[in-house]
Amino acid sequence: MSGFTHLNVASAFSGHYGVTRPELLDEAAVALGFDALAVADRDGLYGSVKHIGACLKLGIQPIVGVNLCVLSETGEALARCVILAHGQNRGAGWAKLCAITSAAHAGRRNNNKREYPVAIKRSKLAQLIGDDGGCTILLGPDSDVGRATLASSQGAGGSQGAGGAQGAAQSALAAWLACFKLPGSLAIEVVTHLTEPGTAYSTLQAQRMLQLADHNKVPAVLTNAVRYLQPDDALTADVLDAARFLEPLGFFEPQPNAQAWLKPSEAMHAIAVEVAGDRTRALQLIETTNRLAARCKLDAPNDCGWGKPKTPEKSALGIDGNPFEVLWQKAHDGIERFYPRASARTLQEVQHRLSKELITISKLGFATYFLTVADVAQMIRDMKIRSQARGSGAGSLVNYLLGISGVDPIEHDLLFERFLSTERSSLPDIDIDVESARRHDIYNAIFKRYGSSRVTLLSMQSTYRGRGAMRDSGLALGLEDDQIDDIAKNMWRFSARSFRGALGTKPELAKFAEAVEEDRRMNLLVDITERLDRLPRHISMHPCGVILGDTSLLQLTSVEPSGMGLPMSQFDKDDMDPMGMLKLDVLGVRMQSAMAYAVREAARVRGEAIDLDNVPRDDAATYKLIRTTDTLGIFQIESPGQRELTGKHQPTEFNDLTIQISLFRPGPMKGNMIAPYLDGRHGFAKPDFIHRDLEPILRESWGIVIFHEHVLRILNVMTGCGLARADEFRRSLENPRVKPIVEEFFRRETKLRGYPQAVIDRVWSILEGFSSFGFCKAHGAAFALPTYQSAWLKTHYPTEFMAGLFTHDPGMYPRRLLLSEARRLGVKILPLNVNRSTDEYLVEKVARKTTDVNEPEIGVRMSLVDVQGISNAEIARIIAEQPFDSVGDFYMRAKPSRRTLERLALVGALDELTGDTAATRGDIMARVRQLNSVKTRPTLRSDQPTLDFEIGEQLPTGNAEPTLAQKINDELNIMHMDVSDHVIEQYRPMLDAMGVLRSDELVGLRSKTDVLVAGVRVATQTPPMRSGKRVVFITLDDGAGCSDATFFDEAQSRCSSVLFNTRLMVIAGKTRRTGVRGVSLMAENAWDLTELWNQWLAAKAS
Amino acid sequence: MLRIDEKVSVLVNQLGEPIGFSWRGASYLVNSKPVRWFARKQWWVDAARVQRGIGAGVLEVEMWRLQASRSESDRAQFELIHNAQSNSWQLARIFN
């Protein structure tokens, strides 16, 4: 017999159904001797590009289909069918498959598959397949036909007794044949999973399906309805089923057995014989299968547009003539705009560089691509939205001159070759950061500008990681939610794939490890969590990707609705390059929104227009603020580690920020590059440039190789290879197979040029080690810009800036820490007030209370959005009805729910409504309780007297004002912020008695002083370490600033109970000086502050 | 239907199909084409471990359904379980 081709295979991209990634299936197919393989994922073409790519790489033929639910006219599910695209027809079959798949998602308003199931009506499917075919539908066991063959076979008697069943199956098939008259558009799929005779997927069912096909002269093909590679994977499939049904195992009908694996050819032939009964018919079955396979083999370039770049047509970009000439003109126009006062020498450099870049772009034929990105960038600017290019694109002068990037590559010494060169032909990535709050506006504008036939959003497949894998595993085993929560809380920084290994080594898992010893279910939990790890979990909208193409886009990709409603491609970012699709990253950055907000508030309240993109980048006050390490809220350098580094580094200019951002990465930290850099900078050690040729390249970094640009220049200088090839070599360093070739080239060329052997050896070891480290300087510089801008705002407009941070929440810290920082900066915090608060944190003018001219005349008003449980409708009503003149008036017009009214009163938002300074918050609460006790709320109508709610209400009197501690407690409960005062203050008597230091006192201490600090936990980090050991960093805020404590192994095991989950802490440790302004604690022990407090109170009482 | 769940010794042909077995001291001769199928187990109820690579034996079990008889008169349908790993057999059920 000839070979066999599997036509029904679901990959792991069949969410919560398939188990094996397409690449693995393809590799296995090769090992099994198959010359082709189909992947047909459930509900989409999710895995198809990866499948095609793997097939091309492995030299087998790709076949692609989709597995869809087909509905009757009345909406009942008829079948789950595999629909295969025919190939070698210049994309006709592929386009149809895309259209069918997209149609199955049309009408779903969002990507909630529960609410809007993915399905297509049979009539719609017939209409799409039409008269010219292009696809074949497989009707298998999971169809009305397949189910009908079983209908009356439960009793004994075999095929004779099933006459009635065959009758029902016959008429079900007839209905399909009536819809799909075109020969070849319908086939019967014969499958047996060797289940109990007479049940679904049994050999008996397969036999009846085959008889039915023969009787009706419909082609029959054999598949194994594969959903995993090996029998062992069936266990994983069970767990995925539980996740799909959202039910524990045992609560739903599980798969019948473990037969749905990628069986080898011989096994499939044996099945054919078992089903057909005789070898001739079996042979026919295999041959029909292989013939359909041959018809479906895709010619990737011609069927799917594989590897062919697609950009919008000239007409869509509004250009006439040659795109390159248009680009040339636009770039040259930019010279005058961006270099108005440049010297002749600079202009010459600009001209030279520009010509070089344009030649490369012309050679690659990417002019349209650049024009497209420039067009989008211009559109964003026209919308008055802050934007900023990031990534290697900032290294391009063309990008700067077209207004795509805001960083001058000449001034910052950035290389174009790192971004684009003739050595590579893939479309480069240009990423644009925009205000996060306006991101969707931009997406909508892009769809409007280019038309929905040319644009889709990009999707993203999220995968199972540690906690997610454990949660779904726990659900499958029917564990209690809080049991799952308990375990999840202690899962920190390890791959779920090595869950069992982590049990023995992580102190916080010690309790769970004991449970695993004793409890069989916990043991299973560990095993299946490891199985789920890394599997695709669900598809969602990519946070920033937009695909721009020509009008053929929707014939090349299937789409489904995204969370925001706009269509989204079923392909992910890794699929873009192979498919030749242009992906533009428009990434929402909250900091950009926060800065735009600060600028807006400065204009509104002070009448000052700030041109943030053009403020001088050498403002001394700004660098001074950064050097104090009070960098909370500043882009990129606010984390505890960056603050520590800032203390040591003490930046004085823009390039320092670029370097610092690039240094604080896992690579340089692991490679121990920070210390020698700092030593060189501070003059503790003489910088070592290795060779005088390298000095000009590494002068900025004191002899340390930090940037990709350094590597390119070193390779170029020492071998003369040119910068473009140098970047190829740099990329090759990451590939262990190609690295030896680069090494040989490097050693040969450097030797020829007469470099001493010791220099060659040293430089090579640095380059070799660099492969995993480096950072693109253009990227660092692009990041440094918002870093500088946010620091500048914090320095000169702290109130507006903090208001922007509160409103857009850009950073890593909770809002209450920012509040503490604002208070520390002297920014006035204005309490919640229903007459003034809105859905934003507005800046307000306030009168000075003192004669101090430094006292700000503005403050930040707290926002209604932080009140727990308040609805958007309530906020909108409050804003619309402002101002109010009494509690009753507020009650009548703002119509808050009882709970919201009470909460607003508790945090003082109604204090101003009394008009009576003698009234206490207790009185207001009493009034609120009066109002809340009314059963039905009276309506405000002019023809009805509203007796009790008239203006001039009488407040109850004589109720006590709550204490400050009570107020803070209410604020924390309701707003999660201590607005009136820092929460730690109420514990001050005990802390003073214990000798606990304030965080700002630490900087004055010597190294290795024993201290106690206390505060609210604001950050917990477990960064990767050079030694591979885990280190836990905890940052506490005590109102005076932050203190950072480091827990090594011993300290971790000593305080494992408080390590990750305690909010208010006291930490004991030794100070460790790390630089001029740098101090951190080596933690020795830690306690729960509230527990200490209770003990202290008890001790005091006795 | 009778649940039995007792060990039996089975005689198989070259294809691995049972042709006869002895149970409770009596010999049974298979007189139909035996049908093999795979049933499943609820591993979450009884398995101790299900780590990657443990194999499908935790999940599924090989079953054989066949007609057999001791003599001409008492022909019945039997269900045997085959454990491929230990190559042992068990009589699961008898249908009359």
Confirm if B89 and B82 have CB atoms less than 8 A apart. Answer: yes
Residues of B with CB under 8 A from a CB of A: 35-40, 42-45, 47-56, 58-60, 63, 65
Asked if the model's pLDDT at residue B72 lies above 90, the reply is no
pLDDT the model gives residue A760? 95
At residue A163 the predicted structure's pLDDT band, cuts being 50, 70 and 90, is: low
Shortest distance between the Cα of B64 and any Cα of chain A, in A, equals: 10
The parent domain of residue B76 ranges over 2-95
Going by C-alpha positions, the residue among B24, B17, B16, B41 that lies closest to residue B91 is: B24
Cα-Cα-Cα-Cα dihedral sign, residues A200, A201, A204, A206: positive
Q: Which pLDDT tens digit goes with each residue over A643-664?
A: 888 988 999 999 999 999 998 8
Chain B residue with minimal CA distance to A518? B48
Q: Are A524 and B47 inside 8 Å of each other by CB?
A: yes
Q: Quick one: average pLDDT of A23-28?
A: 97
Q: Which of A17-26, A104-113, A521-530, A788-797 has the lowest mean pLDDT?
A: A104-113
Q: Quick one: average pLDDT of A855-864?
A: 91
pLDDT the model gives residue A540? 86
Chain A residue with minimal CA distance to B77? A156
pLDDT the model gives residue A774? 73
Mutation target vs A (from B41, B59, B77; most A CBs, 10 A cutoff)? B59
Output the CA–CA distances (angstroms, integers) from residue A176 to A173, A205, A289, A291, in the order listed.
5, 19, 20, 22
Asked if the model's pLDDT at residue A942 lies above 60, the reply is no
Q: How far apart are CA A429 and CA A1040, in angstroms?
A: 43
Q: How far apart are CA A1043 and CA A1029, in angstroms?
A: 23
Q: Are A531 and B52 inside 8 Å of each other by CB?
A: yes
pLDDT the model gives residue A158? 43
Cα-Cα-Cα-Cα dihedral sign, residues A602, A604, A606, A608: positive
Q: DSSP secondary structure string, A140-176? A: -TTBHHHHHTTTT-SSSSTTGGGHHHHHHHHHHHHHH
Asked if the model's pLDDT at residue A107 lies above 60, the reply is yes
Length of chain B: 96
Q: Quick one: average pLDDT of A993-1011?
A: 89
Strands of the A843-845 sheet, one edge to the other: A828-830, A858-861, A843-845
- Measure the CA angle with vertex A353, ends A351 and A358; round to 5°: 90
pLDDT the model gives residue B60? 95
Q: Is the peptide bond before A883 cis (omega within 30 degrees of 0)?
A: yes
Largest Cα span, chain A: 104
Q: What is the mean pLDDT of chain A?
A: 90
Q: Quick one: average pLDDT of A563-587?
A: 91
Confirm if A793 and A1013 have CB atoms less than 8 A apart. Answer: no
Position with higher pLDDT, A1052 vs A83: A83
At residue A275 the predicted structure's pLDDT band, cuts being 50, 70 and 90, is: very high
Position with higher pLDDT, A215 vs A934: A215
At residue A154 the predicted structure's pLDDT band, cuts being 50, 70 and 90, is: very low
Buried b vs exposed e over A322-357: b needs ≥16 C-beta within 10 Å? ebbebbbebbeebbeebbeeeeeeeeeebeebbeeb
pLDDT the model gives residue A390? 83
pLDDT the model gives residue A222? 98
Q: Are A197 and B65 inside 8 Å of each other by CB?
A: yes
pLDDT the model gives residue A934? 79
Residues of B whose CB is below 8 A from A194: 36-38
Q: Which pLDDT tens digit goes with each residue over A239-254?
A: 999 999 999 999 999 9
Q: How far apart are CA B88 and CA A241, in angstroms?
A: 31
Q: How far apart are CA A164 and CA A189, in angstroms?
A: 21
Confirm if A800 and A602 have CB atoms less than 8 A apart. Answer: yes
Asked if the model's pLDDT at residue A916 lies above 70, the reply is no
Q: Which of A224-233, A791-800, A960-969 has the lowest mean pLDDT?
A: A960-969
Position with higher pLDDT, A325 vs A388: A325
Shortest distance between the Cα of A248 and any Cα of chain B, in A, equals: 10
At residue A89 the predicted structure's pLDDT band, cuts being 50, 70 and 90, is: very high
Retrieve residue A823's tokens.
Answer: 């208070």
Cβ-based burial of A107 (10 A; exposed 0-12, middle 13-18, buried ≥19): exposed
**What ipTM was predicted for this assembly?**
0.95
Q: How far apart are CA A932 and CA A426, in angstroms?
A: 66
Residues of A whose CB is below 8 A from B44: 238, 249-250, 476-477, 521, 524
pLDDT the model gives residue A1? 44
Buried b vs exposed e over A869-886: b needs ≥16 C-beta within 10 Å? ebeeebbeebeeebebeb
Q: Which of A157-171, A519-533, A922-936, A1033-1047 has the lowest mean pLDDT?
A: A157-171
Position with higher pLDDT, A776 vs A598: A598
Asked if the model's pLDDT at residue A160 lies above 60, the reply is no
Cβ-based burial of A245 (10 A; exposed 0-12, middle 13-18, buried ≥19): middle
pLDDT the model gives residue A42? 96
Retrieve residue A172's tokens.
Answer: 């079900």
Q: Quick one: average pLDDT of A253-271?
A: 96
Q: Which pLDDT tens digit goes with each residue over A719-749?
A: 999 999 999 998 888 888 888 999 999 999 9
Residues of B whose CB is below 8 A from A254: 40, 42
Q: Which pLDDT tens digit goes with each residue over A635-645?
A: 999 988 888 88
At residue A538 the predicted structure's pLDDT band, cuts being 50, 70 and 90, is: confident
pLDDT the model gives residue A811? 83
Closest in B48, B50, B63 to A235, CB measured:
B50
Chain B residue with minimal CA distance to A499? B51
Structural domains counted in chain B: 1
Retrieve residue A57's tokens.
Answer: 């790489």
Q: Quick one: average pLDDT of A863-886?
A: 93
Q: How many CB atoms lie within 10 A of CB A1054?
A: 16
Residues of A whose CB is below 8 A from B37: 194-197, 202-203
Chain B residue with minimal CA distance to A242? B44
Identify the three-state secondary structure at position A255: coil
Asked if the model's pLDDT at residue A197 lies above 80, the reply is yes
Mutation target vs A (from B36, B41, B51; most A CBs, 10 A cutoff)? B51
Q: Quick one: average pLDDT of A1036-1048?
A: 90
pLDDT the model gives residue A157? 41
Residues of A whose CB is below 8 A from B96: none
Contacts of A964 (CB under 8 A, 6+ apart): A980, A981, A986
Q: Which pLDDT tens digit goes with each residue over A30-41?
A: 999 999 999 999
At residue A229 the predicted structure's pLDDT band, cuts being 50, 70 and 90, is: very high
Q: Which pLDDT tens digit goes with each residue over B32-46?
A: 889 999 999 999 998
pLDDT the model gives residue A915? 72
pLDDT the model gives residue A672? 77
Asked if the model's pLDDT at residue A1027 lies above 70, the reply is no
Q: Are B52 and A524 inside 8 Å of each other by CB?
A: no
Percent of chain A beyond pLDDT 70?
Answer: 95
Q: Quick one: average pLDDT of A463-490?
A: 89
Mutation target vs A (from B60, B62, B65, B96; most A CBs, 10 A cutoff)? B60
Amino acid of residue A57: K
Residues of B whose CB is below 8 A from A257: 38-40, 59-60
At residue A164 the predicted structure's pLDDT band, cuts being 50, 70 and 90, is: low
Which residues face A1035 on adjacent strands?
Answer: A1019, A1044
Identify the three-state secondary structure at position A216: helix
Asked if the model's pLDDT at residue A1096 lies above 70, the reply is yes
Q: How far apart are CA A36 and CA A4, in angstroms?
A: 9
Q: How many CB atoms lie within 10 A of CB A494?
A: 17
Position with higher pLDDT, A1 vs A1049: A1049
Confirm if A794 and A634 have CB atoms less than 8 A apart. Answer: yes
Q: How far apart are CA A601 and CA A590, in angstroms?
A: 16
Q: DSSP secondary structure string, A428-494? A: PP-EEEEEGGGHHHHHHHHHHHH-TTTEEEEEEEEE--HHHHHHHHHHHTT--HHHHHHHHHT--SS
Asked if the model's pLDDT at residue A156 lies above 70, the reply is no
Q: Which pLDDT tens digit goes with each residue over A615-639?
A: 999 999 999 999 998 899 999 999 8
Q: Quick one: average pLDDT of A1047-1058?
A: 87
Residue A368, phi-psi category: left (phi > 0), alpha (psi -120 to 50), beta (remainder)? alpha
Position with higher pLDDT, A1003 vs A755: A755
Retrieve residue A994's tokens.
Answer: 């214990």
Shortest distance between the Cα of B37 and any Cα of chain A, in A, equals: 5
Asked if the model's pLDDT at residue A113 lies above 80, the reply is no
Closest in B35, B51, B60 to A530, CB measured:
B51
